[in-house]
Structure 1
Amino acid sequence: MSQKVANIIKKVTRLGYQAIEMVIFKGVSIFYKNKEKYKDIWLICERGTEAKDNGYWMFKYIRENHPKINVHYIIDKQYEKDYKKVRDLSNIIEYNSFEHKIAFILSKKVISTHIGFVEPWSYKLYKMILDRKDKKKYIFLQHGVIYNDLSDILNKKASRIDKFITSTKDEYNSIANTQNYGFFNDEVVQTGLARFDNLHKNIPKKQILLMPTWRKDITNPSYVKSKIVDDNVFLESDYYKRFKSLLNNKELESILKKYEYKLVFYPHYEIQQYIKYFDVNNQNIIIANKDKYDVQQLLMDSKLLITDYSSVFFDFAYMKKPIIHYCFDELKHYKSGYLDFKKDGFGQVISSEEKLVSLIEKYAKEDFKIEPIYEKRIEDSFTVRDDKNCQRIFEVIKKA
């Protein structure tokens, strides 16, 4: 039997099981639908293990400003640090639990930063079997600003998203009323991200943040349960060697010591599994574990961001702070989109370690001031820039 046929059989079996289970839960939900907890319920989720992104900030805003809304946050209690953040706000449902599945069946609105977590089953299958009249509304908060072409996975037909949250005018124009994505203008809204509200409170420390994105071909993705990529593939990659070299660069060590700065290396969520391999002997460099450090706090605390292609640079640009793109390779797992870093980006693009270190010192000498050309591009891109992002998103959810 070929691998292709085996994968098809596996997929059909999985969807068949999901179909049976969701129908069973639909029947069981009849006994819960009149309970106060499930009346007009909204569900918010990130990855099911986190409360640090747009989902958390949206949930916090609704609980504090609209307490009469019956909104619940879905998270696995084993992830204690993030679980404690939402516990004080109450209305928590255990991720992937019996209660999660009942709540999902009975929910009016589902609000998520990622596809495939707030929904216990294939959402497309759910709509085909149990919600053909489209009564349930799916609001996609996102977990970043999209600049690549993600239409293969986020198109309307595949995702069944009802409201698509965007931030910049270029991002909105790349998704709304385009053939690739398939959304109409009123299904895409430019509100800004929920987490942007908190960025206005940033008071930077003497800190530099190194935060690159991941590479699909050298990692074992967290969403794949079996081991498909050996660690040696990662260790032999140019990606690993480049960043390990940078972290152990002697000139960088001298610069951090001279200007009394810390550099925090925060690997992408999918790279965190390899964090043990990034050994450094420099007291001014911190290797940040995702379970101990909050991404938004790191962004707010830092004066300079060094990344490659991670869309987190939009958050940093929103705060009008300098960015360096360290791009020594090409990002292969996404199709290129509307943004050309060199022509339209918010920071310099560097490919060599030597030039990168030199530019870091240049910024340190100038107290990390952003160049006017990049500040102008930021202002032109973020036509909506205030602390009312959550408020605008709430109105979108309410009307959906």
Structure 2
Amino acid sequence: MGYLEKISRLSRQAVEMTKYRKIAEKYKGEDKYKDMWLISERGIEAKDNGYVFFKYLRENHPEINAWFLIDSSHKKDYDKVKDLGNIIEYGSLEHKIAFFLSDVLISSHTGFLEPWNYKLYKLIFDRDNKKKFVFLQHGVILSDLSKYYNSSNKIDLFITTTRAEYESICQKNYGFDKGVVVQTGLARYDNLNEFKLKKQILLMPSWRMNIINPSYKKKGKGSDAVFSNSDYFKALNSLINNSKLIDLLESNGVDMIFYPHFEMQPYNHLYDINSDRIVIADREEYDVQTLLKESLMMITDISSVAFDFAYMKKPLVYYQKVPDDKYNQGYFDYIEDGFGEVILDEKNLIDIIESYFSNGFEMKDKYVKRVDRSFNIRDNNNSQRIFNAIIDLIG
């Protein structure tokens, strides 16, 4: 985006914000908006830390005036939240009013809960920093993301999980004031301590920036041709059609659930499927945490969802044939710190997968030790710690 285009966009947003702020003032005295905590994920989902924390608040702290933002057209997730009450339609007039009148904004993502540029909002309407933004996160940060998350984001509380992650985000390159970054554990980890297994393994790679239009840019879907000609697509399509893998699945009665990343879901139709044992999971139909809990093992690449899986001490493999094109190297080294083998070619990957079939899907001792070292917090109280941190924040 060019400089003039950016100035024009922000100017339009400033005008629009001024308009809706005047509208919001008319509702200021209503009980609905008094001391409101406004919670969201991407606005179309209830699968992540936003939903888990909202559920915790509704069930354990009814005294908190908590509301959840979600698009009702995404019915499966909407219905999950509906039973908890206090829903606001994502993108609606009510959403904009709630944004202005709420005391605390709580989200697993940045750039979705906020109808407008948040930095601009703070500059024009909240220089005294009365409104607080709590970043629940949607994973454990292992790369250097200081380019994306730093003091300029106006985050008041930044949730982390492992000790190493906490120490990394506290470094000077992120620029957060003391007390902004806290180690509580992700809210969704409260649900990982008990699980039942199915005869399935999980393929869940991360996304790549240069072959799609990321959803946050709001420029629509990218080119199918660009995606299908990428090394990323070719590597995954080859894997799910590997004859030895298919024989392994079919002879053992095990399914492979391939859950493409949120950003890659629009391209699901491009993959070739030649076995009933291979299932491409549509995000509208499958719940990520349920898949993580039910699966015997996981194949990922650079996705931080590996931390969720490792937390349960189940085997995983990092298939890194296609390098990351998004983030800089952080504190985490896959060879020294990872929770499973790092594999660069398909043949060796199939051999490793076969070895885990043979050992009954047991995580190897050296990786169990790394899990124990990484997760110095392990209980069902992450949401409670997050709640306490928010209470401390708002006084």
Same fold flag (TM > 0.5)? yes
Deviations 1:333-384 (A, max 9, x none): 1111111101111110011111111111110111000111111111111100
- Confirm whether residue 161 of structure 1 aligns to residue 142 of structure 2: no
Deviations 1:112-141 (A, max 9, x none): 111111111111011111000000110000
- Confirm whether residue 151 of structure 1 aligns to residue 146 of structure 2: yes
Q: 1:224 to 1:184 in 2, by over 3 A?
A: closer
Q: Secondary structure at the match of 1:186?
A: coil
- The offset of 1:300, in angstroms, is 0.3
The residue aligned with 2:193 is 200
Q: Which amino acid aligns with 2:233?
A: Y
The residue aligned with 1:108 is 103
The residue aligned with 1:42 is 37
- Is the CA contact 2:111–2:216 (under 8 Å) kept in the aligned structure 1? no
- The offset of 1:258, in angstroms, is 1.9
Q: Which amino acid aligns with 1:121?
A: W
Q: Secondary structure at the match of 2:215?
A: coil
Q: Secondary structure at the match of 2:147?
A: helix
Q: Secondary structure at the match of 1:257?
A: helix
- Confirm whether residue 323 of structure 1 aligns to residue 336 of structure 2: no
- Confirm whether residue 187 of structure 1 aligns to residue 180 of structure 2: yes
- The offset of 1:226, in angstroms, is 3.2
Match of 1:380 among 360, 365, 373: 373
Distance 1:185 1:260 in 2: 52
- The offset of 1:26, in angstroms, is 2.0
Q: 1:187 to 1:244 in 2, by over 3 A?
A: same
Distance 1:253 1:87 in 2: 40
Q: Secondary structure at the match of 1:20?
A: helix
Structure 2: give runs of 5+ residues left out of the alignment: none
- The offset of 1:330, in angstroms, is 1.6
Distance 1:103 1:223 in 2: 22
The residue aligned with 1:12 is 7
- The offset of 1:230, in angstroms, is 2.2
- Is the CA contact 2:311–2:375 (under 8 Å) kept in the aligned structure 1? yes
- The offset of 1:229, in angstroms, is 4.1
- Confirm whether residue 60 of structure 1 aligns to residue 55 of structure 2: yes
Q: Secondary structure at the match of 2:67?
A: strand
Distance 1:186 1:227 in 2: 38
The residue aligned with 1:274 is 267
The residue aligned with 2:86 is 91
| Equivalences, count | 393
- The offset of 1:228, in angstroms, is 7.8
- The offset of 1:200, in angstroms, is 1.3
TM-score normalised over the length of structure 2: 0.97
Q: 1:217 to 1:103 in 2, by over 3 A?
A: same
Deviations 1:9-68 (A, max 9, x none): 221111111111212222222211110100000100000110010000000000000111
- Confirm whether residue 74 of structure 1 aligns to residue 75 of structure 2: no
The residue aligned with 1:390 is 383
Distance 2:97 2:146 in 1: 31
Q: Secondary structure at the match of 1:135?
A: coil
Q: Which amino acid aligns with 1:344?
A: D
Distance 2:256 2:322 in 1: 22
Distance 1:330 1:345 in 2: 16
Distance 2:177 2:30 in 1: 36
More moved, 342-351 vs 229-238: 229-238
- Confirm whether residue 225 of structure 1 aligns to residue 200 of structure 2: no
Deviations 1:242-287 (A, max 9, x none): 1111101110111112222111000011111110011211011111
Deviations 1:227-250 (A, max 9, x none): 584221111111111111110111
Q: Secondary structure at the match of 1:152?
A: coil
Q: Identity of counterpart residues, as a percentage?
A: 53
- The offset of 1:107, in angstroms, is 0.7
Q: Secondary structure at the match of 1:320?
A: coil
Q: Where in structure 2 are the equivalents of 1:281-296 lying within 5 Å?
A: 281-296=274-289
Structure 1: give runs of 5+ residues left out of the alignment: none
Q: Secondary structure at the match of 1:223?
A: helix
Q: CA RMSD in A?
A: 1.1
Deviations 1:212-238 (A, max 9, x none): 011111112222333584221111111
Q: Secondary structure at the match of 1:306?
A: strand
Distance 1:117 1:269 in 2: 14
Match of 2:164 among 148, 162, 170: 170
Distance 1:163 1:227 in 2: 31
Distance 2:246 2:46 in 1: 34
